[in-house]
A and B are shown apart, each in its own frame.
Chain A
Amino acid sequence: NAGVTQTPKFQVLKTGQSMTLQCAQDMNHNSMYWYRQDPGMGLRLIYYSASEGTTDKGEVPNGYNVSRLNKREFSLRLESAAPSQTSVYFCASRELAGGRNIFYNEQFFGPGTRLTVL
């Protein structure tokens, strides 16, 4: 099992350019998340998907869009990148509540994408 994979690992964009960050999980999890991590800010939720076909805004959704392509894949799109979107982006997945491990519902994180917008 690869767990949660993210591509690319690094990316440099110019202001106004667009790009899509890809995320895939092979654990058959229902829920998937996109976070951004900035120094001194911790991890902030951008968007999440409770299950295939559904997406919802998190704490900082402005400037981003997402697609839950299927149960495995959850992509994050920057339509017009801005320097304020320079960050490390993490994708995560977990089982939906009510899964076999109800208490210890663990989020599994990918290795991250380091994005710089010039």
Chain B
Amino acid sequence: QQQVKQSPQSLIVQKGGISIINCAYENTAFDYFPWYQQFPGKGPALLIAIRPDVSEKKEGRFTISFNKSAKQFSLHIMDSQPGDSATYFCAARPRLTSGTYKYIFGTGTRLKVLA
């Protein structure tokens, strides 16, 4: 069974601090690594994503760092704000062999940013 391991399970950060969420995978046949943000009562929404041929992707305050040799990738939220309080899921997508893409999700990290 392909797995994506995510940590920590929960995280509390002060406003203005840096939030870091880590994920590790086992299958080298993944070709796309998205992060999703989910607010209570809502469905997940794509936040940022990276391909394995790039070591870092930055969009505003959100950065993905990717370490291909270690099979790890992480989400960094700079200058964390109370509005960032949500559950974050990492995911990995296997290379397409037939049909359509299927995504493997991490178990989620509940982030709370204190005002």
Contacts and interface: CB of A to CB of B under 8 A. Distances in A.
Interface in A65-118: 90, 92, 94, 96-97, 103-107, 109-112
A43 B42 contact: no
A45 interface: yes
A96 B105 contact: no
Interface in B1-55: 1, 6, 9, 32, 34, 41-46, 49, 51
B100 A109 contact: no
Interface residues of B, number: 24
B102 interface: yes
B46 A50 contact: no
B108 A42 contact: yes
A42 B106 contact: yes
A61 interface: no
Contacts of B73: none
Interface of B, helix, strand, loop or mixed by DSSP:
loop
A110 B107 contact: no
A42 B107 contact: yes
B99 interface: yes
Contact of B43 (A41, A94, A97, A111): A111
A4 B43 contact: yes
A30 B43 CA distance: 20
A29 B45 CA distance: 16
A109 B43 contact: yes
Contact of B99 (A40, A50, A90, A111): A50
Given A43-B44, A45-B103, A112-B41, 10 more contacts: A40-B9, A42-B89, A48-B99, A48-B102, A50-B100, A58-B102, A105-B32, A107-B103, A109-B44, A111-B41
28 contacts: A4-B43, A40-B9, A40-B107, A41-B107, A42-B6, A42-B105, A42-B106, A42-B108, A43-B89, A44-B105, A45-B103, A48-B99, A48-B100, A48-B102, A50-B99, A90-B43, A92-B43, A94-B100, A103-B32, A104-B49, A105-B101, A107-B34, A109-B43, A109-B44, A110-B43, A111-B42, A111-B43, A112-B43
